[in-house]
Structure 1
Amino acid sequence: MKLKRRRTLEVPPKIRSFINTVTATPLENIEEPLKGFVWEFDKGDFHHWVDLFNHFDTFFEKHIKSRKDLQVEDNFLESDPHFPREAVLQILRVIRIILENCTNKHFYSSYEHHLSSLLASTDAYVVEACLQTLAAFLKKTVGKYIIRDASLNSKLFASAQGWGGKEEGLGLIACAVENGSEPIAQELGSTLHFEFYAVNELSDELPMTEQSTQGLQIIHLPNIYTRQESDLELLNKLVKEYKVPPSLRFSLWTRLR
């Protein structure tokens, strides 16, 4: 959703010059004018940056929203173009800097959908940048703010669920130090275990061999780090083999990557 800038608000020349430089650059090269951005302005007013954020929305709509791999839709391994990693990282960095310096950032409402999509990225740096951007928005927000996007809430909850805890030998130090944990803890940390209940959806259009299975489904794969396929390829294989519904694919993905 495009933001509207106050008609009577005059954008400072330095900010207007930067925004014009960015918007004049093709979306395919948007990262170039963003690389050197630092905050060198007075107290921030979010309304000064509306045109830039609308331009970022245009980028996300064109290059991110329709990606099947981020939505984990059927056949998500096919047809998606190259992921614009550097552009996404630079956009999130600039958004974060601006939000950290604007007290009226609550006017920015379209970020939730974009961050929700990018949380499914295979790139750990993109996921980290998403979380940092979300933190920048929530930090020092006027009044109490509730995340409205149900999908973002669900993905944050799924991402926060760990493999275990200190009691199981998977404390932070044990995970970070080589040979820092017991063999049984290493086995636990490298095993994918995912359970869900499948609802039998009978259809006259599908043969019985393709009908979904009913009841408790258990996916258990030890030593997933030894698998030859990529994480996304393995996810695709498990989704097809176990008929994992779309609503549970991100939760499975967080256990896998």
Structure 2
Amino acid sequence: MKVDRTKLKKTPTEAPADCRALIDKLKVCNDEQLLLELQQIKTWNIGKCELYHWVDLLDRFDGILAEAGQTVENMLWMLVCDRPEREQLKALLLAVLNFTALLIEYSFSRHLYSSIEHLTTLLASSDMQVVLAVLNLLYVFSKRSNYITRLGSDKRAPLLSRLQHLAESWGGKENGFGLAGCCRDLHMVKYPPSATTLHFEFYADLGTEVKVDKRVSVRASSALLPQISESPSEIMESLTKMYSIPKDKQMLLFTHIRLAHGFSNHRKRLQAVQARLHAISILVYSNALQESASSILYNGLIEELVDVLQITDKQLMDIKAASLRTLTSIVHLERTPKLSSIIDCTGTASYHGFLPVLVRNCIQAMIDPTMEPYPHQFATALFSFLYHLASYDAGGEALVSCGMMEALLKVIKFLGDEQDQITFVTRAVRVVDLITNLDMAAFQSHSGLSIFIYRLEHEVDLCRRECPFVIKPKIQRPPTAPLQEGEEMETDMEGNWERPGALGGAGPCALWAPWP
């Protein structure tokens, strides 16, 4: 629903100028113009502000979500956005969802968002692209705030129920449904027959057991293409007319139909894997796994997630990023019990372990212009995973053991021009700050303090280009003069540069602003 303006309190802060300019620009767009404008916004390059300033646009977005989530006339399971003739609406819907995810991540007062019931409805779309866009937005809410946990039970219960259906196990690696295997483009004979069939049992209201076996409609067979050509919603419509399926079982049945219907298609199977990983992460961050933790976070899941990371196919970087985010959420939830398993499976404690090698390769690709860099989304997930590992003693000790300090200092030392690079510098500083508490010797032996001061000087010099000196230093230095290996420079209390010793015990965290 639209934002309840009767409960709005006018914020004393004004929106940043660039933010206000974007709001005014989007407000006057028609649907076609809005689609084009939103599709151009891939990253957030404007200031943070209160969500209060966006309420007019949020109300418009709410109307788009509501229209897309309506059911087609005389059908209960076909959403308007799934109709072939509504491709333009679907494109606008996806653009709105993706932009809203960015907005929520870079704004305050997220509790003002009021379209959660539409997001719950859209999780029933037959198009997994729509489902993934909804999950991406929900992921931002779950990780960046307690928005989902504070929802009223009437909104929270149906949302969590649908997320649990998406997150449930498919059978595990021992039954032929390992995540890495499902990500590969293999012939269907490599998967169990149950992958493309549906067997669903429920108890009718009268208490008699009824079994539904819909193998004919979704089995991968060239002789049955007419049946397969039906959408999951059309199959669900026919089943609900054929059987008296209890209301509380219908969404679970539809989720199974959608999975079985698309499993034989590699692209749709990848989308299903990614949706499952997103759903797990959201449930973990929303503290919603109390009753189903053992079935969703089953024994062997961590090994399956690491197997996904070890796939060499560069086309699967989005899936690998989702796998890293899921591992990060498990660290967040389970703390010590699962942490040791994650450290062992990823080889974090060994210099030649899988994770340390992956991190060093990723960092080398950042600083070497001759190498192709890793996708931003994957690199961000990787650094986030390192930060969460380092937040616990066992994880920090493992990162120290594998020599992670040297690799992270390379990120801080490299003076890249792109805005993306500075975000990884910030993340590297936070991880170094955590593990330096465990191993100051490694920080000193790799000239950590020199690198930090040099980097800080460089960033200050960049700022001075827009904001000239207010207090002129007594001694001028070249703005980006490179340091010799092992050279360390410190300042006295008046800001003069001198040899080591003046800062006493100041640690690296004193040289950088916190990472939000």
What is the TM-score with the length of structure 2 in the denominator? 0.42
Moved more, 126-135 or 48-57: 48-57
Counterpart check, 1:99 vs 2:94 = no
- Please say if 1:217 is aligned against 2:223: no
Q: CA deviation at 1:86?
A: 0.6
Indicate whether 1:136 and 2:140 are aligned: yes
Match of 2:399 in 1: none
1:117 equivalent to 2:121? Answer yes
1:192 maps to which of 193, 198, 203: 198
Give unpaired runs (5+ residues) of structure 1. 201-213
Structure (1 or 2) with the greater helix fraction? 2
Counterpart Cα distance in 1 of 2:20 and 2:159: 32
Shift of 1:116: 0.3
C-alpha distance in structure 1 between counterparts of 2:147 and 2:127, whole Å: 33
CA distance in 1, matches of 2:233, 2:148: 37
My pick for the range that moved more, 156-165 or 221-230, is: 221-230
1:52 CA drift (Å): 1.8
Distance apart, 1:43 and its partner CA: 3.3
CA apart distance, 1:78: 7.5
Distance 1:78 1:29 in 2: 27
Once the two structures are superposed, residues 123-164 of structure 1 have per-residue CA deviations (whole angstroms, 9 ceiling, x without a partner) of: 111101111100101113169934531221211112222331
Select the residue among 157, 160, 171 that pairs with 1:153: 160
CA–CA distance in structure 2, aligned partners of residues 216 and 92 of structure 1: 41
In the alignment, the residues of structure 2 paired with residue 218 and residue 142 of structure 1 have an alpha-carbon distance, to the nearest angstrom, of: 40
1:165 aligned onto 2:172: yes
User: Do the aligned residues in 2 keep the contact of 1:27 with 1:59 (CA within 8 Å)?
Assistant: no
Larger radius of gyration: 2
- SS of the counterpart of 1:217? strand
| Shift of residue 45, structure 1, vs aligned partner | 2.6
Other-structure match for 1:40: 45
- Structure 2 partner of 1:68: 71
Shift of 1:103: 4.1
**Aligned counterpart, 1:244:** 245
Q: Distance in 2 between matches of 1:165 and 1:44?
A: 44
Segments of structure 2 that go 5 or more residues without pairing to the other structure are 259-516
Q: With CA pairs under 8 Å and 6+ residues apart, which has the higher RCO, 1 or 2? A: 1
**Is the Cα–Cα contact under 8 Å of residues 3 and 112 in structure 2 kept in the other structure?**
no
Displacement after TM superposition at 1:19 (Å): 2.0
- Contact between 1:173 and 1:180, CA under 8 Å: does it hold in 2? no
* Alignment partners' CA distance in 1, 2:204 and 2:74: 17
Q: Percent identity?
A: 28
Q: TM-score, normalized by length of structure 1?
A: 0.79
- Flag the 1:225–1:43 CA change in 2: closer, same or farther, 3 A: same
1:206 is matched with none
Distance in 2, matches of 1:17 and 1:161, equals 44
The 1-side partners of 2:201 and 2:213 are apart by 9
Moved more, 132-141 or 52-61: 52-61
Shift of 1:107: 3.0
Question: Root-mean-square deviation (CA), in Å?
Answer: 2.9
- For residues 9 and 123 of structure 1, the distance between their equivalents in structure 2, rounded to whole angstroms, comes to 40
Please tell me the residue identity of whatever aligns with 1:224.
R
Instruction: Measure, in 1, the Cα distance between the counterparts of 2:56 and 2:196.
Output: 46
Corresponding residue to 2:18 among 14, 23, 33: 14
1:176 aligns with 2:183: yes
| Mean CA deviation greater in 44-53 or 74-83 | 74-83
Contact 1:3 1:54 in 2 (8 A): no
Aligned-partner SS, 2:209:
strand
SS in 2 for 1:195: strand
Taking a change above 3 Å as real, the CA distance of residues 49 and 217 of structure 1, as seen in their structure-2 partners, is: same
Other structure's SS at 2:212 match = strand
Select which of 60, 63, 78 maps to 1:55: 60
User: Which amino acid in structure 2 is aligned with residue 221 of structure 1?
Assistant: K
